[in-house]
Amino acid sequence: MPTVRFQSGEMVMGRWPGSNLYYEVKVLRFSPKSQLYTVIYKDGTELELKDQDIKSATGFRTRSRSRSRSRSPARRRSRSRSPARITRRSSSRTAAVAAAAAITESTPNSRRDAKLKDVLENPTKPVENNSNNKHENKEENDTANKVTEKPEAKVEAEPEMSQGRYNLRRRKDDGDAKAVEVKQLQLEEEEAKPTTVPAATSTTPLDFGGRIGAYFWLLFLPAWVLFLLLQVTLVDPSLANFPPPLPPLETLFDGQALGIVLLWTLFQALLYILPVGKLSEGMPLRTGERLKYRTNGFFAIVVSAVAVAAAVYQGVDLTYIHSNFLQLAVASFLGSFLLSVYLYVRSRYVPPDQLALGGNSGNVVYDFFKGHELNPRIKNFDLKFFCEMRPGLIGWCVINFAMALAEMQEQHLEAPSHAMILVNLFQLLYVVDGLWNEEAILTTMDLMHDGFGFMLAFGDLVWVPFTYSLQAYYLVTHPNPLGLPALIAIVAIKLLGFYIFRMSNSQKNAFRRNPSDPKLAHLKTIPTATGKSLLVSGWWGVVRHPNYLGDLIMALAWSLPCGFSHLLPWYYMIYFIILLVHRNSRDMSECRRKYGSAWDEYCQTVRYRIIPGIY
Ligand code: NDP
């Protein structure tokens, strides 16, 4: 039985993850299971540290340097770099930013330095912070000004607090403060030990209703898709017709449908592995490594479109998709389920540093649902990236096209209806845009934080293609003639949503990829202790998720062509509001854990989450 060296409440020196800098921290608790200490820094950030990353305060050697008196990221910011105290350009640099900068400048060829820099900039450190709810409440109530801080930290931070902990400044004003820090950081680097990679622990808060929730979602999601698909085939898909008649069980499975789904997936896999298109780098992982992704999605959809057109030209009847929709969905469900089993099994054998921080509850059902391995790969074939962007997404467009053909057949039309054309074009634009900007997905939550399990596999392979196409399916048997003013209004709504969505996503993506991009120099930012900054002006200064706002406006434009006769074509809009509100709160918790009080500052500055002035 290993001894517990430090007791709760003890003040010790804790290593800042990924660096060789030690700060004064307070031990909160020790977990015998994970063998990790939970410690709190003076800026309120809680982290879990291994025993070897903690030193006793008394035995710790104090370095004699004039500018390094502080022992926490908060103190470094507040004492020596407070914008309130000093007006020099270097005033607001965080310890981590400075460390990263110093390392860049000192020994650029050193692998260890590069690794340290990467880890410093890496957002996904195993931060465990139970103050999320407190934070949410505090923010909603609009009472407190700052997160709870230890009294001593408060004293240190006081000079800044009068103006807010972080200064809001134009990014170009970051200027060239690096030199000031270089020597200090070099000194620390000379004494460096190998960087410790924080491990994922089983203490990450559970999402989606926890263990019970996972059971529920596992049963509910497939049942809900079945319900929707049965409902949309009804002449009157209203709630009055609930429950829809169930087809005989044996008709749900069809070998041919399974074959088509398999062939389609293999075809997309083939396009994905072709050495065509750019190799893009993902965000730094906890190990400091950056994975490479073949971002040739646009190429894939163009080739797929040509293949589908050639097949139709050769006489292939694409309306098969309409008449066998349920069977195709069941086949895709089986595929996603088997894939999830495979993912769960392999997640149990990969090294801890390749696991996501969630999906490690120890409960089989929860972990199977949530997914645990962050980037499961077979050689260079990235399963999560592939499933997120290819078979389901491109398949959705093919389904929509098939529905347009089915509508013409069903309603004896020479061309698809205006409503059908709008739905097809709008959703095609959404997918093509996603594939054109495929690299942007590398900075999204799914890719950066979530493990790959049933939730994403089912979402990517079943939910997206088979429920997002419901509007087109609905229009096959529920015509909705549109006049010119309605057409113009709907197109205008779509374009507005698309503009907000694209601009905001591109702005964040560009900023995350290159924070010093001169095109973004006019934007204000808030530095955080991780070394990354948060945009606090531009799109991300309007609301905290401008990209969700644009997406929601587009969702409205997708439903409007179907009219108001039934709720079913509005299902996507309703579902999407729920999804994005929940996603927003998940992201808020995640960012609160990552960025601590800097995130609070951001939330105080940008008060609304998605809709300006309302929510
Ligand atoms: P975001 O792309 O908004 O990513 C959230 C992350 O952005 C945060 O975790 C944080 O990560 C970073 N971030 C947050 N605030 C700031 C800021 N002020 N400055 C800089 N970085 C910030 O979220 P999603 O992955 O959920 O969404 C991506 C897109 O996909 C959205 O447009 C969404 O609408 C769309 N989407 C569509 C779905 C659909 O089914 N149609 C489903 C889900 C999403 P970090 O700081 O670590 O970089």
Query: Which CATH number fits the domain that encloses residue 151?
Result: 2.30.30.140
Can you tell me which residue has the tokens 């607001």? 92
- Per-residue pLDDT, 57: 79
Spatial separation of the C-alpha atoms in residues 413 and 522, rounded to whole Å: 53
Provide the percentage of residues in the chain whose pLDDT is more than 70.
74
Asked if residue 547 has its Cβ within 6 Å of ligand 1, the reply is: yes
CA 158 to mean position of chain CA atoms: 34
Residues 25 and 155 in one domain: yes
- Per-residue pLDDT, 2: 52
Q: Report yes or no on 199 lying in a domain.
A: no
| Residue 75, domain extent | 11-192
Residues 445 and 398 in one domain: yes
Average pLDDT, stretch 41-68? 65
Residues 81 and 127 in one domain: yes
Spatial separation of the C-alpha atoms in residues 77 and 87, rounded to whole Å: 13
Residues 381 and 489 in one domain: yes
Asked if residue 582 has its Cβ within 6 Å of ligand 1, the reply is: no
Residues 464 and 594 in one domain: yes
Query: By the 8 A CB rule, do 117 and 100 touch?
Result: yes
- Per-residue pLDDT, 190: 41
Q: What angle do CA 413, 418, 423 make, to 5 degrees?
A: 115
Residues 330 and 471 in one domain: yes
Asked if residue 218 has its Cβ within 6 Å of ligand 1, the reply is: no
The two structure tokens encoding residue 244:
């829809």
Of the candidate ranges 29-33, 64-68, 370-374, 479-483, the one whose mean pLDDT is the lowest: 64-68
Residues 137 and 44 in one domain: yes
Q: Which of 168, 507, 524, 548 maximizes ligand 1 atoms within 8 Å of its Cβ, making it the mutation to test the pocket?
A: 548
**Which of 42-46, 122-126, 236-240, 265-269 holds the top average pLDDT?**
265-269
Query: By the 8 A CB rule, do 90 and 175 touch?
Result: yes
Q: Whose CA is nearest to atom 9 of ligand 1?
A: 587
Residues 350 and 397 in one domain: yes
Q: Whose CA is nearest to atom 3 of ligand 1?
A: 545
Q: Is the pLDDT of residue 32 over 90?
A: no
Tell me the pLDDT tens digit for each residue of 556-610.
Answer: 999 999 999 888 899 899 999 999 999 999 889 888 888 888 899 999 999 999 9
Residue (of 348, 384, 339, 383) closest to 367 by Cα position: 348
Distance 93 CA to ligand 1 centre (A): 25
Asked if residue 534 has its Cβ within 6 Å of ligand 1, the reply is: yes
- Which residue, 129, 163, 192, sits at the end of a domain? 192
- Per-residue pLDDT, 60: 62
Average pLDDT, stretch 420-436? 96
**Confidence class for position 333, pLDDT limits 50, 70, 90:** very high
Q: Whose CA is nearest to atom 1 of ligand 1?
A: 444
Q: Report yes or no on 378 lying in a domain.
A: yes
Spatial separation of the C-alpha atoms in residues 596 and 490, rounded to whole Å: 41
Residues 188 and 218 in one domain: no
Give 54's strand partners.
14
Q: Report yes or no on 436 lying in a domain.
A: yes
Tell me the pLDDT tens digit for each residue of 345-377.
Answer: 999 998 888 888 776 778 899 999 999 999 999
Spatial separation of the C-alpha atoms in residues 76 and 91, rounded to whole Å: 10
Q: Report yes or no on 137 lying in a domain.
A: yes
Q: Report yes or no on 610 lying in a domain.
A: no
Residues 360 and 476 in one domain: yes
Q: Report yes or no on 1 lying in a domain.
A: no
Of the candidate ranges 7-16, 54-63, 396-405, the one whose mean pLDDT is the lowest: 54-63
The two structure tokens encoding residue 492:
């205008």
Asked if residue 71 has its Cβ within 6 Å of ligand 1, the reply is: no
Residues 586 and 505 in one domain: yes
Q: Report yes or no on 201 lying in a domain.
A: no
- Per-residue pLDDT, 204: 61
* Mean pLDDT, rounded, of the chain: 78
Tell me the pLDDT tens digit for each residue of 287-312.
Answer: 788 899 999 999 999 999 999 999 99
Query: By the 8 A CB rule, do 229 and 326 touch?
Result: yes
pTM attached to this predicted model: 0.70
Tell me the pLDDT tens digit for each residue of 158-203.
Answer: 333 333 333 333 333 333 333 333 334 343 444 444 344 444 444 5
Query: By the 8 A CB rule, do 48 and 36 touch?
Result: yes
Which atom of ligand 1 is least distant from the CA of 584? 26
Which atom of ligand 1 is least distant from the CA of 541? 18
Of the candidate ranges 280-284, 322-326, 486-490, the one whose mean pLDDT is the lowest: 280-284
Q: DSSP readout, 294-350?
A: EE-HHHHHHHHHHHHHHHHHTT--TTHHHHTHHHHHHHHHHHHHHHHHHHHHHHTTS
Spatial separation of the C-alpha atoms in residues 388 and 370, rounded to whole Å: 15
Q: Is the pLDDT of residue 151 over 70?
A: no
Q: Whose CA is nearest to atom 16 of ligand 1?
A: 534
- Which residue, 126, 160, 192, sits at the end of a domain? 192
End-to-end CA distance of the chain: 51
- Per-residue pLDDT, 335: 97
Select the more confidently predicted residue: 247 or 17: 247
Q: Report yes or no on 615 lying in a domain.
A: no
Question: What's the domain count of the chain?
Answer: 2
Residue (of 542, 389, 572) closest to 468 by Cα position: 572
Residue (of 50, 195, 17, 200) closest to 115 by Cα position: 195
Can you tell me which residue has the tokens 């709870």? 148
Q: Quote the DSSP letter at residue 606.
A: S
Spatial separation of the C-alpha atoms in residues 359 and 488, rounded to whole Å: 46
The DSSP element (H or E) to which 229 belongs, if any, is helix 210-232
**Confidence class for position 245, pLDDT limits 50, 70, 90:** confident
Q: Whose CA is nearest to atom 32 of ligand 1?
A: 547
Spatial separation of the C-alpha atoms in residues 588 and 600, rounded to whole Å: 10
Distance 545 CA to ligand 1 centre (A): 7
Query: By the 8 A CB rule, do 113 and 189 touch?
Result: yes
Spatial separation of the C-alpha atoms in residues 99 and 106, rounded to whole Å: 10
Q: What angle do CA 215, 218, 222 make, to 5 degrees?
A: 150
Residues 149 and 214 in one domain: no
Q: Which of 374, 503, 547 maximizes ligand 1 atoms within 8 Å of its Cβ, making it the mutation to test the pocket?
A: 547
